[in-house]
Amino acid sequence: MARMKFICDAERCIECNACATACKNEHEVPWGVNRRRLVTVNDGVPGERSISVACMHCTDAPCMAVCPVDCFYRTEDQIVLHDKDLCIGCGYCFYACPFGAPQFPQAGAFGLRGKMDKCTFCAGGPEADRSEAEFRKYGRNRLAEGKLPACAEMCSTKALLGGDGDVIADIYRERVLRRGRGADLWGWSSAYGVKPGAQPPVQQPAATTGKS
């Protein structure tokens, strides 16, 4: 069974926001909720990059771990979805998610939360596939139609890839090799700026002081 994942190639992203617009249009996402958004790193300085961010459908999803009513569930394709009928709008998932994926519509002047909304990988929800109830709560179920997520299909530069994790990882790896990069893209050298072949940094224990 495929494991569905997203990968955003920051070298190709041109910050056109087509992915975010396609998501809103496809699912009729309510105002104030952004299932997908563009994040710019090092804005205005050399090395500026833009990354399209949404729910990453984590293998060990922190939102699932903190939800007090267990409204999250995982599909056969390893897509993390939720049941809005169970959601109580507590916001725990919002604070637990490192990607800011869970969204809450503004339900009043005092910030009262409604039902949580997030990226569904265009896979709908617990209702019957392609039903009116499913579309009203979760948007269009493109996977049931044999299609990929709208955001990935709309990306003109193919910076945003969505689909079988093994397949899109191979595509991204091939791109990296063509750019003249190799195994140094992954691991310590990228995460901590260590030169290839060097040992990873070792954190020294904090010095302790005391009176004899």
Joined tokens for residue 189: 């050298």
- Work out the average pLDDT over 4-17: 93
Residue 162 has a pLDDT of 95
CB half-sphere exposure, 106, CA atoms < 13 A = 7
Distance CA 141, CA 153 (A): 14
Per-residue pLDDT at 75 exceeds 60 = yes
Binned at pLDDT 50, 70 and 90, residue 212 comes out as very low
Q: Please, what is the Cα angle at 6 between 159 and 72, to 5 degrees? A: 150
Start-to-end CA distance of the chain, whole Å, equals 64
Binned at pLDDT 50, 70 and 90, residue 180 comes out as confident
Q: Please, what is the Cα angle at 2 between 179 and 184, to 5 degrees? A: 25
Residue 30 has a pLDDT of 82
Residue 182 has a pLDDT of 56
Distance CA 53, CA 7 (A): 9
Residue 76 has a pLDDT of 94
Torsion angle, CA of 82/87/93/97, rounded to 10 degrees? 30
Is pLDDT larger for residue 202 or for residue 138?
A: 138
Per-residue pLDDT at 119 exceeds 70 = yes
Is pLDDT larger for residue 29 or for residue 203?
A: 29
Q: Please, what is the Cα angle at 99 between 175 and 53, to 5 degrees? A: 45
Residue 194 has a pLDDT of 56
Is pLDDT larger for residue 119 or for residue 90?
A: 119
